[in-house]
């Protein structure tokens, strides 16, 4: 993935102002690896908003976490593949048929280089939340099971927390892409995240890309925040 992303920082562009979004990307594009566009932005500005950000010539991770019946996900992926995106994701819990439908849609598009990854367990959930939902496994067991399903279904990687990185790399191989949110430095606000780690710990464990939003965008000095993150990592290979 480092052939596409010049460093591992994927900035979460979770804003509902196109002007603010363009300003953030313009100011920071030379210091980050890519941009994550989520549901807030996409629901506000749609495909045209994605095209606006694409003009800045920076890799885009379209984070819509698709989760529906297989035919709906298939048709949605076919439509989204018309956009210039580096990564797109679906929910692994949608099941094998849905995951395979997503892969089929990607592979039938002209942009076969787009990486298709699956969300395992949201980093805002811990073991008690997972138990309350109805799963008997702890977070590590559930994440590994869903990651294995994603790989078996032909996906390129998963979104997981830092807690599961080493286990997934050991079981599913170093080429299986791991995108890791829930990244914070020591003094950062945890916000609504529960399964957290530092940038260095995530990269040292085997993370390929780090999704980081509020610690940068809410900072009084975003460039300094990025520099602190890269210094924490020390080395990007």
Residues in the chain: 237
User: What's the pLDDT tens digit per position in 3-30?
Assistant: 678 899 999 998 889 999 999 999 999 9
Flag whether pLDDT at 235 surpasses 80.
Answer: no
User: What's the pLDDT tens digit per position in 100-119?
Assistant: 999 999 999 988 899 999 99
Mean pLDDT value across the chain: 90
Q: Is residue 4 part of a domain?
A: no
55 is catalytic: no
Flag whether pLDDT at 60 surpasses 90.
Answer: yes
Q: Is residue 216 part of a domain?
A: yes
Q: Is residue 159 part of a domain?
A: yes
Q: Is residue 73 part of a domain?
A: yes
Position 3 scores a pLDDT of: 60
Q: Is residue 2 part of a domain?
A: no
Flag whether pLDDT at 209 surpasses 90.
Answer: yes
| Residues of the domain holding 148 | 9-233
Q: What is the CATH number of the domain that holds 229?
A: 3.20.20.70
Best-predicted range by mean pLDDT (25-34, 131-140, 219-228): 25-34
Percent of the chain past pLDDT 90, that is, above it, reads 68
Q: Is residue 64 part of a domain?
A: yes
Run of H or E including 120: none
Q: Which of 3, 36, 55, 65 is catalytic?
A: 65
Flag whether pLDDT at 66 surpasses 70.
Answer: yes
Flag whether pLDDT at 191 surpasses 80.
Answer: no
Q: Is residue 1 part of a domain?
A: no
Higher pLDDT, 203 or 182: 203
């Amino acid at each position: 993935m480092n052939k596409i992303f010049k460093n591992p920082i994927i900035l979460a562009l979770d804003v509902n102002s196109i002007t603010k979004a363009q300003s953030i990307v313009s100011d920071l594009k030379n210091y980050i690896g890519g941009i994550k566009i989520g549901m807030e932005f996409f629901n506000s500005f749609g495909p045209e908003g994605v095209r606006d950000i694409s003009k800045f010539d920076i890799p885009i991770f379209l984070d819509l976490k698709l989760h529906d019946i297989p035919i709906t996900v298939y048709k949605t992926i076919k439509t989204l593949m018309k956009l210039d995106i580096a990564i797109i994701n679906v929910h692994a819990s949608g099941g094998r048929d849905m995951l395979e439908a997503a892969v089929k849609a990607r592979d039938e598009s002209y942009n076969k280089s787009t990486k298709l990854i699956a969300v395992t367990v949201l980093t805002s959930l811990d073991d008690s939340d997972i138990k309350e939902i109805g799963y008997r496994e702890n977070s590590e067991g559930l994440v590994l099971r869903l990651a294995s399903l994603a790989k078996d279904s032909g996906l390129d990687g998963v979104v997981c927390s830092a807690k599961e990185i080493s286990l997934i790399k050991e079981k599913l191989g170093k080429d299986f892409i791991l995108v890791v949110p829930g990244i914070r430095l020591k003094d950062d606000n945890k916000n609504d995240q529960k399964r957290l780690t530092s940038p260095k710990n995530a990269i040292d464990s085997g993370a390929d890309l780090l999704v980081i939003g509020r610690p940068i965008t809410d900072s009084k000095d975003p460039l300094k925040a990025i520099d602190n993150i890269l210094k924490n990592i020390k080395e990007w290979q």
